[in-house]
Homo-oligomer: A and B are copies of this chain.
Amino acid sequence: MKYVTGLHCIKCGKEYEADPERYLCDDCEDGILDVDYDYQKIMAEWSKEDLKANPDQRIWRFEPLLPIKPETEKPKLAVGDTPVYNSPVLAEEFGIKKLIIKDDGLNPTASLKDRASAMAVVKAQEADAKTVACSSTGNAASSLAGNIASMGGRMNAVIFVPDRAPAGKLAQLLIYGADVVSVKGSYEEAFYLSAEAIKKWGWYNRNAAINPYLVEGKKTVSLELAEQLEWEMPDWLVFSVGDGCTIAGAYKGLYDLKQIGFIDRIPRLLGVQAEGCAPITEAFRTGEELEVTAENTIADSIAVGKPRNWLKAVRAIRDSAGEMINVSDDQILAMMRNLGKKTGIFGEPAGVAGMAGLKKAAAEGIIKRDQSAAVVITGNGLKDVKNARRAAGNPIEVEPDLEKLTAIFVEQGVT
Q: Which A residues are closer than 8 A to B by beta carbons?
A: 75-78, 81, 83, 85, 87-89, 103, 106, 108-110, 131, 145-150, 152-153, 158, 161, 163, 167-168, 170-177, 179-185, 189-190, 192-193, 196-197, 200-201, 336-337, 340-346, 380-383, 385, 388-389, 391-402, 405-406, 414-415
List residues of chain B with CB within 8 A of the CB of A344: 75-77, 108-109, 145-150, 176
List residues of chain B with CB within 8 A of the CB of A108: 83, 103, 106, 344-345
From B382, B395, B400, A380 is in contact (CB under 8 Å) with B382
B183 with A398: CB separation less than 8 A:
yes
Given known contacts A78-B106, A158-B414, A171-B392, what 13 new A-B pairs fall within 8 Å (CB)? A81-B81, A149-B344, A152-B343, A172-B346, A172-B388, A173-B395, A175-B346, A175-B391, A177-B340, A190-B400, A193-B401, A193-B405, A382-B382
A337 with B399: CB separation less than 8 A:
no
Q: Sample 25 A-B pairs with CB under 8 A, ordered by A number.
A: A77-B83, A87-B152, A89-B152, A103-B108, A149-B341, A158-B414, A163-B397, A171-B381, A171-B391, A171-B392, A172-B382, A175-B337, A175-B340, A175-B388, A176-B344, A177-B342, A181-B405, A182-B397, A183-B398, A183-B400, A184-B399, A184-B400, A192-B400, A193-B398, A380-B382
Per the bound structure, the CA–CA distance linking A287 and B392 in Å amounts to 47
List residues of chain B with CB within 8 A of the CB of A76: 85, 343-344
Report A162 CB to chain B, min CB distance, Å. 9
* CB-CB nearest 6 A-B residue pairs: A177-B341, A150-B344, A174-B392, A78-B83, A175-B340, A180-B395
The chain B residue sitting closest to A412, CB to CB, is B179
The chain B residue sitting closest to A185, CB to CB, is B400
List residues of chain B with CB within 8 A of the CB of A393: 174
B109 with A106: CB separation less than 8 A:
no
Counting chain B CB atoms within 10 Å of each CB, the highest count among A175, A179, A200, A385 belongs to A175
List residues of chain B with CB within 8 A of the CB of A75: 344
B110 with A171: CB separation less than 8 A:
no
Report A133 CB to chain B, min CB distance, Å. 11
